[in-house]
């Protein structure tokens, strides 16, 4: 791989967000140079505040729907609002971010012959009729509903990644990320883990949507970032041919109903909040659980290590500190 100096220089788009900021911490820890490109739509400077003076870190306020001409060795493309509340706030911009963002980052990767990682999502499976979801399942997605800007945007991004791979031999790594949680989630982003914890800590009612019997499988952020690095570091093929492109499901297969999650959060916070029901959002998937057989095989026995209660404790501690500042 070509290097711009003796260190790897890595671009992380969406690096001021929840997952991106944890990824950058790990990249800097292992000695890489990092350029973070983010328009701060859902990300915040607070997530990268501790890095601003770091000699190997650089922040660019940049929107990935516009071209970006810089020199790097590798790209992690994470820029995109991820919570339903945020991505439905400006759905046209969400599709543009996924699709134009992918085109620009793939164009950059093509010019540089750089390896490029795409943060795709379990939402490409929609409301799945196959359970648990394997990578060869094509999904059950509504193309015209309120979630479509995100789901179809991410599906189109996958199409672009695989076409640049086939047509131009670009070395791509497409990860389908399942629900992930941890410190630095946005307190108001409306995702279930942050909502329940913030509500419990404030003594407000926990808002359980629909029956509460729908399921999700929650992965702690450190386990996920470890998988990102292992996936991206899989070697290229013979004579510099692209390595394994994925798609690869990444997540924790432990599956819980939203009612179980609400009860667990109440127990761990010792909160006296009540659980109240709210209508289910449109097209809310009823069940979700990753089949991670392929990730285990490909990523040298990678396995999520942090159980839900341990991860929730750390996340509760984060929000507790945040809310008291």
Neighbours of 214 (CB within 10 A): 19
Q: Does 274 bind ligand UDP (CB under 6 A)?
A: no
Closest separation in Å from C-beta 230 to ligand NAD: 17
Q: Does 95 bind ligand NAD (CB under 6 A)?
A: no
| Nearest-angstrom CA–CA distance, 315 and 143 | 34
Give me the 46-75 binding string for ligand UDP, x by CB under 6 A, dash otherwise: ---------------------xxx------
Site for ligand NAD in 112-131 (CB under 6 A): 119, 121
Sheet holding 9-13, edge to edge: 57-61, 33-38, 9-13, 74-77, 115-121, 172-177, 248-250
Torsion of CA 247, 261, 204, 319, to 10 degrees: -60
3-class DSSP state of 67: coil
The entry of ligand UDP, ligand NAD, none near residue 240 (CB within 5 to 8 angstroms by kind) is none
> What's the N-to-C CA distance of the chain in angstroms?
45
Residue 38 structure tokens: 């983010």
Calculate the alpha carbon distances from 167 to 64, 171, 214 in Å.
23, 11, 40
Q: Does 249 bind ligand NAD (CB under 6 A)?
A: no
Q: Clarify whether 76 is annotated catalytic.
A: no
Closest separation in Å from C-beta 240 to ligand NAD: 28
DSSP state of 125: G
Q: Does 243 bind ligand UDP (CB under 6 A)?
A: no
Q: Does 209 bind ligand UDP (CB under 6 A)?
A: yes
Q: Does 17 bind ligand UDP (CB under 6 A)?
A: no
| Nearest-angstrom CA–CA distance, 219 and 210 | 23
Among 19, 208, 248, 308, binds ligand UDP (CB under 6 A): 208
Q: Which of 76, 87, 125, 150 is catalytic?
A: 150
| Nearest-angstrom CA–CA distance, 97 and 238 | 34
Q: Which is nearer to ligand NAD, 152 or 271 (CB)?
A: 152
Q: Does 174 bind ligand UDP (CB under 6 A)?
A: no
User: Rule CB under 6 A: which residues touch ligand UDP?
Assistant: 67-69, 83-84, 103-104, 107-108, 110-111, 179, 191-192, 195, 207-210, 214, 216, 258, 280-281, 284
| Catalytic site positions | 150
């Amino acid at each position: 791989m070509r290097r711009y100096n003796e260190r790897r220089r890595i671009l992380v788009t969406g690096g001021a967000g929840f997952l991106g900021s944890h990824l950058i911490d790990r990249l800097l820890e292992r000695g890489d140079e990092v350029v973070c490109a983010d328009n701060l739509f859902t990300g915040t400077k607070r997530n990268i505040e501790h890095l601003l003076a770091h000699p190997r870190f650089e922040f660019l306020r940049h929107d990935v729907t516009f071209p970006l001409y810089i020199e790097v060795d590798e790209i992690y493309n994470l820029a995109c609002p991820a919570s339903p509340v945020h991505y439905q706030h400006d759905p046209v911009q969400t599709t543009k971010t996924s699709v134009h963002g992918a085109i620009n980052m793939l164009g950059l990767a093509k010019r540089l012959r750089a390896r490029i990682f795409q943060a795709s999502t379990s939402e490409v499976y929609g409301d799945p009729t196959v359970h648990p979801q394997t990578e060869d399942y094509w999904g059950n997605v509504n193309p015209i509903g309120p979630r479509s800007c995100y789901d179809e945007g991410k599906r189109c991004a996958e199409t672009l990644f695989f076409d640049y791979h086939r047509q131009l031999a670009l070395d791509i790594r497409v990860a389908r990320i399942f629900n992930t949680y941890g410190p630095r989630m946005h307190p108001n982003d409306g995702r279930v883990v942050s909502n329940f914890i913030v509500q419990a800590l404030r003594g407000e009612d926990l808002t359980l949507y629909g029956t509460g019997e729908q399921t999700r499988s929650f992965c702690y952020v450190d386990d996920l970032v470890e998988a990102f690095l292992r996936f991206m570091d899989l070697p290229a093929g013979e004579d510099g041919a692209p390595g394994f492109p994925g798609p690869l499901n990444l997540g924790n297969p432990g599956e819980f109903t939203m009612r179980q999650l609400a009860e667990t959060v109440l127990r761990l916070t010792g909160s006296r909040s009540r659980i109240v029901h709210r209508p289910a959002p449109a097209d809310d998937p009823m069940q979700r659980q990753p089949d991670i057989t392929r990730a285990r095989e490909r990523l040298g026995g990678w396995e999520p290590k942090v159980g839900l209660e341990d991860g929730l404790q750390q996340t509760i501690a984060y929000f507790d500190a945040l809310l008291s500042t």
